[in-house]
Structure 1
Amino acid sequence: MSTKLFTKEEMEMLAANKYVKHVSAKGITYTDEFRRIFISEYEKGRFPRAIFEECGFVISILGIGRVESLSKDWRAKYKKNGVLGLEDTRRGSSGTHSDKELSIEEKYERLKTRNKLLKAENELLKKPRYAGKGDEKKEIELSSKEKFLLINSVIKQHKLKNNISYLCKLVGVSRSGYYNYFSLKSQQSRNLNDDQDKTVRDHILNAYNFKGRKKGARQIKMTLEGQFAIVYNLKRIRRVMKKYRIICPIRKANPYRRMMKATKEHKYLPNLLNRKFKQNIPRKVLLTDITYLFYGKGNKAYLSTIKDGSTNEILAYNVSDSLTLPIVIDTLHKLEKKKIKLAKGAFIHSDQGFHYTSPKFQKLVKSYALGQSMSRRGNCWDNAPQESFFGHFKDEANIKTCETLDDLKKEIKDYMSYYNNYRYQWALERMTPVQYRNHLLSSL
């Protein structure tokens, strides 16, 4: 039978035909007289279409499919029961059966089912998940998988097997999707995918815990390739991390604030760098800064570093429990002790803090044949790579577990070795700082 729906105008036109008893948007109830006329004319060799048109029906409205289907149905009934088979025996010829009177037991069962359905509805819609804080707090939409599992749980709890369609509609998923999810084939496929994901998870955890330093998805990808010769798509790594709740450390704000003030003897210098950090020449641009470190039970220390702007390698560092001038002086001495060969025109860049404007520090810089550059006042972006390093360092180093200053120094020493030699970086063509430095030197 054709599934064509009639418009209001078409229904009015059809209802005006004397051979139509009732018409709705979906179908027509024909008179017994028309059914008999149809069979009589058909047996004379007339085509169904011609018979309908002769009796005032417009085929373009009915649809030829509907005409052919009715012709086949009426002929079969006539062949089986004769003229009686053509009569419409439905009460009132409305096309539907009247509801029988329900017993008290049947009414009670329907009421119980309705109450269970209401409970299930409340259970499906309660406890929405949210992300963010304050005004930015947003409700998280459940995935289709989570909705299917939730529906299945509610059905088992309230015994609502006959209400699957309603529950699916309630949470916005298709019934076919629900049945497909719990089909044997789908379950076997999911089991296979779970086994594969568990293997990927184990490899990810090996990279995540490599050298005792927790990592994000990109770090994990590079570590898998560089240390384990395993290649996974970044999207796959992120999906498996999310599935098994392998959490990437969250970047913390840099708590460093300069406390000391400069005297009249202190000298500010111009910004020679102008944010040209990557000059592809190792040991030409040296970045330096200081950050606070909190460890143990309320203890505080300070870390001073000198970083290669082109390769991100930490060339020298110093840890102290004092923020006085020697922390940066000793960092420069350590750089000199390493006998690192600097590039032609090398210079050191810093902010305008007390330590770097000090005459003693500036004199030492000159003695080491280094130029000196300073960020603009209050502009952290002028030394952004150094600030970025401190952020990564505080995420990845196990500072809070250190009880003493010696413990802290040992942890920082281990981290610096890891960072320079084993921590792959996306922006360094997925190499470690030392590998990238050697790469640049080989191309000079």
Structure 2
Amino acid sequence: MTTFIIEGGHQLKGSIQPQGAKNEALQILCAVLLTPEIVTIHNIPDIIDVNKLISLLENLGVKINKIGPGSYEFQADEVNMKYLESAEFKEDGKGLRGSIMIVGPLLARFGKGYIPKPGGDKIGRRRLDTHFEGFINLGAKFRYNREDHFYGVEADRLKGTYMLLDEASVTGTANIVMAAVLAEGTTTIYNAACEPYLQQLCKMLNRMGAKISGVGSNMLIIEGVDSLKGTEHKMLPDMIEIGSWIGLAAMTKSELTIKNVSWDDLGQIPNVFRKLGITVERDGDDIHIPAHKDGYEIQSYIDGSILTVADAPWPGFTPDLLSIVLVVATQARGAVLVHQKMFESRLFFVDKLIDMGAKIILCDPHRATVIGHDFKSTLKATTMTSPDIRAGISLLIAALSAKGTSTIHNIEQIDRGYERIDERLRAIGAKIKRVN
């Protein structure tokens, strides 16, 4: 187990460049399976979850050539479908939540796709029903081996159809889109997710020869084509990391510039942090956060009632940043209700913050009320363990703002989603050390 030792209470200064988007990478990388031609992808984050997926693709027979930092060429012209039935695949696949994303492309191009029950964060139930119901609607036969927890779909040729998704699942929509682009006829997906990362996938597939319209809306219309060609693609910056750095700047009263953030793809993120009282300035395509020497004050609603920050499907606020909002609120003036609708275990990390002196009432598994200290009482250093990626970064921000030296164990969870985070934080003045 690897550990961070953090000496908190120091102001940071400088600029930081966000990595490529993790959640986009897990979709885009699987799309290379749709063509035998070369697909070049830039701005791929060097993180555990993405590297595991690249390794899985390599084991599947995809030729991979690293052409520079974050840039790779992929060619899936000799895919080894027998690997899907091997014990090695059952082990490799279940260690990565994103492995579910290979099923749609494989089903579309090779007529079958298998996956062991995927792993990932322990933040609550994350159903796969939307994925498989979509494949069944396209004409695939579904089977599930309960003993091995092994899912499979098979079809001679997928056929386009109309479908109304039971939830606007981002990964579910992406998987169904990748299956539908090679299906016979027209597929209409209503209640589709429309996140920027899904828009990126659709634009990439259209450059490869797919015919997808309605990109950016909740209704996608896909005219099936016989084959796709190679392309080149650059991934967006990671909006979750951008939100994390905004929160870090506020909590440490630091002046920070976040470079090349793709402002137009950030949606509600700047506005939600402004509602928490944080000054978020636009400078070209950068975000500038001035040092909040006098703290920051949470806005109330116009009738004076307490602000609620809740997650919602895009263009609503992403659930991945609610952990950051919760930590930032611990030092604000005022109070906020954080409502995590999607996952029932994601707020359980607040007990660590309460141990550090935060005033938080966990109302139920989905809601927490935070009463801010207004920096009159700083958080206290402590020893803690990272339960998942987003809670891990939140605890790291808390530790960097706290007085004294904190220890965070199980930082492999943080490394799953954040590239060389200790090295990049040291570059802006953080006192953070990685030890085994």
Q: TM-score if structure 2 supplies the norm length?
A: 0.20
Q: Which structure is higher in RCO with an 8 Å CA cutoff and minimum separation 6?
A: 2
| Structure number with higher strand proportion | 2
| Structure number with higher helix proportion | 1
